[in-house]
Amino acid sequence: MCRGGAGDLAPWLLLLPVVRMQTEPAPTPQVLPPVQVRVVGPDAACLSPADLRRLFRGRRLTPARRERIANSGRVVAACGSRIVGVAAYERVDGVLRVHEFGVDASTPCTLDQIATALLDALEVACLAGGGRRLVLLPRAAVASHLLRPRGFLTIAEGCAGSWFEKVFPA
């Protein structure tokens, strides 16, 4: 049997401990600038030695490799005002061969963002130049986990790494 009416509950509720929640503003997520790319030819200014050291950190760039990069077509990626990636390529008989692929790992933009932007631009450059094959030499296959979903196949494997190829239908 219940005693009292509905009004008897209110004094009982007042005896419960009060829990106060403190609210803090949620941290605002960092908005990353989009990765911008541009395709430049050998006549364009070469990357600075500091940029090359940063993009190819831990990899030896001999004078011959630096000269080959300078004399090649390049796709240059920037995150904001900072250069964060480069892919150097040559056109040979309708094939776009990418021989160097350098990425700055110390940037707020992710490796996948940079590599995707460079690969997109390389595919467009290949097709725009009339090419139907895009080949990544072992030194250029930096983000291999991104390649297979994009249609790249391994065409050769060796101790230096794998060669990847994407063939575009005619």
User: Is there a domain that residue 9 lies in?
Assistant: no
User: Is there a domain that residue 146 lies in?
Assistant: yes
Nearest Cα residue to 96 out of 113, 118, 80, 78:
118
pLDDT digits (tens, 9 = 90+) for 86-129: 999 999 998 999 999 999 988 888 999 999 999 999 999 999 99
Between residues 4 and 29, which one has the greater pLDDT? Answer: 29
User: Is there a domain that residue 21 lies in?
Assistant: no
The mean of the pLDDT values for the chain is 83
Domain hosting 126: range is 31-167
User: Is there a domain that residue 23 lies in?
Assistant: no
Q: Edge-to-edge strand order for the sheet containing 133-136? A: 35-40, 73-79, 82-92, 95-103, 133-136, 161-167, 153-158
User: Is there a domain that residue 8 lies in?
Assistant: no
The whole-model pTM stands at 0.77
pLDDT confidence tier of residue 23, bands split at 50, 70 and 90 = low
User: Is there a domain that residue 145 lies in?
Assistant: yes
Give me the number of domains the chain comprises: 1
What CATH number does residue 106 fall under?
3.40.630.30
